[in-house]
Structure 1
């Protein structure tokens, strides 16, 4: 029961009542026991038991939720592994894992097929040194590993590799490192694409480009061809100094009527091919051939200080070489050559069959020097003579009436002094 005390207020007590006689009178002996602390202990115990039951329920709920999460994650992991396995097995690209020392740990069917092996296991077992057995250039493996170690990954690394039958294909390779949580390098992983068809196409395009460039260089000087390739549409240059030569086969019209067309073409090809070789030797620019005439220039498109001397040298060589070429019936050939030096304009004309050509008074005078010259002789103008007289031997021809120019003093170039 509860009683009220002066000191502590209301407290819980246990009462024990016993009848007894005291001083001849019947009375009751009441004994009170303070049970407040015990009560509190029971209450605390009940509360603790209740809290324990609540905690146990919470733990059971948490354990259930944790189990469910583990189950879900396990299911997701299994699904991811299955997805990765399917990707690994079905990928069109080759996929691999390799050891740090150059052996395959794992490859997919696509890589085995790409390299010509019957199965992934056939490839893994057969290759014990990737660098030596797979790469055409054995150090190629070392190069890609060096890049991967430095950069952690490499993409589009192109190499030639051997297939099982010894044939060679081109591959493009991606590779990256695989490390554990401590950062220790475990192995390498990567993928491979067969780019042989692309490389073949690129090589064919390269060959066609080189062929086109060679054809272009047969028509145009290299410096001019480069300008056209860069997209320059109009090419016209003025040169203050250049030396022009015209050479013509003497009696060609009569000769063409006495031999077959095939023999005529073969003869011209023989003559002009020799002249082309001389032009290359003296680093001159052949401009064109017109029938049986040959035109060559020095001093353009790249200026040179010795342009007059270079033309004089090729003129003497042309006269020498023509004596070695004969018609099939044994008849000899002879040349008329004319030379003049001065300013010219050079440029590319035409859209489809464009050509590099020269214009100006210098060109016209050089042509007149040839047409009004004599067989087996080299006629030059006074301007040429004055530039070369100290190094070459000349014979003064005298005053010659030149169409469109009037009388001009000309000279025969004979030989080089010394």
Structure 2
């Protein structure tokens, strides 16, 4: 802001103040982002042009053309009353239609009163604000009505211009009004588009951020390119499940707000670790946290990096309290082939399927409190970099006797 010229800074401050006021006028708690933006732009346009219409009225009156002066003066009074009505009723449809209609009609009235296009310094440019602004504040299919209306009035004005009485206006007056009409209309359109594009970019960035909180970046880019079924086979991947020990009895004695705050604090801690290791959080199921390595970005060290994450999660839980409590987690990891894809039409989710996923879940559910339990397959992939102890053989539902290992720490 400090790098702008003083005039630009002043205009920016005034514009921001006007838009802030316009955003409160006629606002409704039930308004969505699009409706709120339409209201803000409509009020900003109509109220923001009042200094110009009042000035135009005074200049026309001083030039001796009272009929031409009465038209922008009438628009000024009408807009003040209509905006006050909008503030009371919050009826955007009525306010939008009446304001667009007057913006479309009145400049042609001024043109007729001054004797044609040239004597009026192409004041009909102001009417072009109607279809242009309609694109920002109106439903897209209804904007055709406004552009057709503008073209019809433009042609009709050209047909009647030869029959209009001529006004004896000074050439300098006409020339300067050319400058004022063209310059002001361009300034108004630029200001509205500048604000609209800025808000649109803000909403897009926020939507993109929310989408990336649900789906991996690669998957979201694929979905944005067009609707399609997303499913892919990964021959080598690792999956981690982490679950709070004795969560059900603990939750029974907590208020709903305290419970959600505790889980949010835990999962935000884990999210930061997942991001640091460039892994993919798949989902949370109650108090269970699921992470994958090797999907959707294939990597040869999928098992090693996931065990590193597990050790970091273990250390984070041991070193701090969550919601004023010390927690203990069971962590289970398995490696193997998985199928990854997106399911659902409305509330879709990126998920994994396969025996490797089921076995990782069993490693967590059959694990010990505070331990990182891994399968023999994962141990073979990480044994050179991590110290592990044998956990014996456990009976796993659907898999039978299964040899397991417990990760103790990093080697060296």
TM-score (norm 1): 0.57
Aligned residues: 254
C-alpha deviation, 1:375, in angstroms: 0.4
Residue 218 of structure 2 is aligned to residue 223 of structure 1: yes
The 8 Å contact of residues 238 and 306 in structure 2, kept in 1 or not, is answered as: yes
Counterpart Cα distance in 2 of 1:257 and 1:378: 26
Larger relative contact order, structure 1 or 2 (CA cutoff 8 Å, min sep 6):
2
Residue 204 of structure 2 is aligned to residue 209 of structure 1: yes
Partner residue of 1:112 out of 151, 174, 180: 180
Counterpart Cα distance in 1 of 2:249 and 2:199: 47
Residue 384 of structure 2 is aligned to residue 409 of structure 1: no
SS at structure 2 position matched to 1:338: strand
Instruction: Note the alpha carbon deviations across 1:227-275, whole angstroms, 9 max, x for none.
Output: 0000042111111111000000001101101222111111100000000
Instruction: Note the alpha carbon deviations across 1:362-383, whole angstroms, 9 max, x for none.
Output: 0000000000000000000111
Unaligned regions of 5+ residues in structure 1, if any?
A: 1-81, 94-105, 117-170, 173-191
Could you say which residue in structure 2 is the equivalent of 1:347? 341
* Structure richer in strand, relative to its length: 1
Could you say which residue in structure 2 is the equivalent of 1:315? 310
TM-score (norm 2): 0.58
Structural RMSD (CA): 2.5
Distance 1:108 1:306, change over 3 A: farther
Could you say which residue in structure 1 is the equivalent of 2:364? 370
Partner residue of 2:274 out of 274, 279, 296: 279
The 8 Å contact of residues 114 and 194 in structure 1, kept in 2 or not, is answered as: no
Could you say which residue in structure 2 is the equivalent of 1:103? none
SS at structure 2 position matched to 1:195: helix
Mapping 1:174-323, distance limit 5 Å: 194-323=189-318
SS at structure 2 position matched to 1:369: helix
Counterpart Cα distance in 1 of 2:288 and 2:188: 57
Instruction: Note the alpha carbon deviations across 1:355-398, whole angstroms, 9 max, x for none.
Output: 00000000000000000000000000111111111111000111
Greater C-alpha Rg: 1
* Structure richer in helix, relative to its length: 2
Distance 1:233 1:323, change over 3 A: same
C-alpha deviation, 1:304, in angstroms: 1.1
